[in-house]
Amino acid sequence: MMTKETSPDVSTAPVIRSNVPGSFAWGVFHERHPKLIQQVLDALPYGPAEQTAVERLLTESTTSVLEPLGPDAPDHAQWLEWGRGLWGKPWGEAPFLWAESYFYRRLLEATGYFQPGAWQGVDPFAPFKNAELGGVAVDDELAALSKLNTLPEPQRAEALLSSALWGNRADLSFQITASAGVSTVSDLVADDSATFWAELGQAGGGRICVVADNAGRELLPDLVLIDHLLAGGLASRVTLYVKPHPYYVSDATMADVLATVERLRTAPSPAAGAIGQRLWVAMNEGTLAVRTHAFFCAPLPFHDMPNDLRTEFAGATMAILKGDLNYRRLVGDRLWSSTTPFSRTVGHFPSPVAALRTLKSDVLVGIDAAVVTHLDSTGTPWRTDGRHALVQVHR
């Protein structure tokens, strides 16, 4: 239960909605989603029924009102509850986090993911994930892991954290961090990395939870970082949380974890192969457990997580939350003042928490006023263009 001390102060932070033309959220529905829909339809040979349903969803989500899932949907009752008070309202009037989440749930419905039939269980985003994981760029990154092993331990740790932080940003891969051994500090708007390592070192090898974000070139460095935590004794156990089904284009599922571990195990690079084998053994032995929960695809912030999931996080040395969506859910998808203390928005979380996030949405807290003023003066969309990142820790 949240207390007055741990609840975010939301009185002056408006909920983000997508009904403001020109806003980032409006652009997601009116500019990004049409491109995504076309990419989905081009990636797999969906039949006329699926194509029509997908195109209808696009029209509905930009011009019509929210309608609940059909009664035959396996999660019909759950979404009725989650959407109480929203059904029948224009999509743009719903909270952006809620509406965006529902869009992806409806996209799975339109492509036949949940219904009995030939398309049941077919990930509409699998072609994108597979192409990225199987690309030449990943071969080069895996080869660079051998060079990371030659770095002094503090530099190697920083390089691995930096790679996990930046994810699929091509110019900050293992290849770059292996050479530099450090983050690109000028692009960090907040950097609690020293606190991150200090907290893990003081804990002396407890249980760490990692909440994954994307598959492909983002999950790869996450798994390498997990191997480092286990092999170095900073964690005695790691629980990796993934989505229960496809979500937000490239979000990681269990299938993606297995594919990424196998990519490491079979890589020509001896260093990558050794990491993949250690991860395989860790999964066998239970020191690395992969778990999921329906709430990870819920349209709600983490302070609304159910008690069973809250219990899983409780007692962890640290929960490491990866990516932009997890950050939005952690602090609340609101138009916070960027200088609002990070601690004020995350005190509800049941364990110490670290956010590793590249900035791809309007939500931002815990930033020094001078940094905000400087970046605002550049005239660039620095909060949303993915060129900046942060490491934030709350003990």
Q: Model confidence over 363-380: pLDDT tens digits?
A: 999 999 999 999 999 999
CATH architecture of the region 24-124: Up-down Bundle (1.20)
pLDDT at position 167: 80
CA 274 – CA 265 distance, rounded (Å): 7
| 360-377 per-residue burial string, b: 16 or more CB within 10 A, e: under 16 | bbbbbbbbeeebbeebee
The type of residue at 293 is H
C-alpha torsion sign, points 253, 254, 257, 263: negative
Q: Angle, nearest 10°, between helix axes 96-110 and 33-43?
A: 20
Virtual CA dihedral for 301, 221, 188, 295, nearest 10 degrees?
0
Where the chain has pLDDT below 50, the residues are 1-8, 10, 170-173, 176, 180-184
CATH number corresponding to 130-394: 3.40.50.10880
Query: Which has the closest alpha carbon to 297: 252, 331, 256?
Result: 252
Per-residue DSSP letter, 37: H
pLDDT at position 174: 57
Q: Which helix (H) or strand (E) holds 206?
A: strand 206-211
Using CA atoms, how far residue 121 sits from 18, 78, 112, 117, 255, in Å, is: 30, 20, 8, 9, 11
Domain ranges within the chain, ordered by starting residue: 24-124, 130-394
pLDDT at position 5: 36
pLDDT at position 77: 97
Query: Which has the closest alpha carbon to 373: 336, 339, 327?
Result: 339
CA 356 – CA 363 distance, rounded (Å): 14
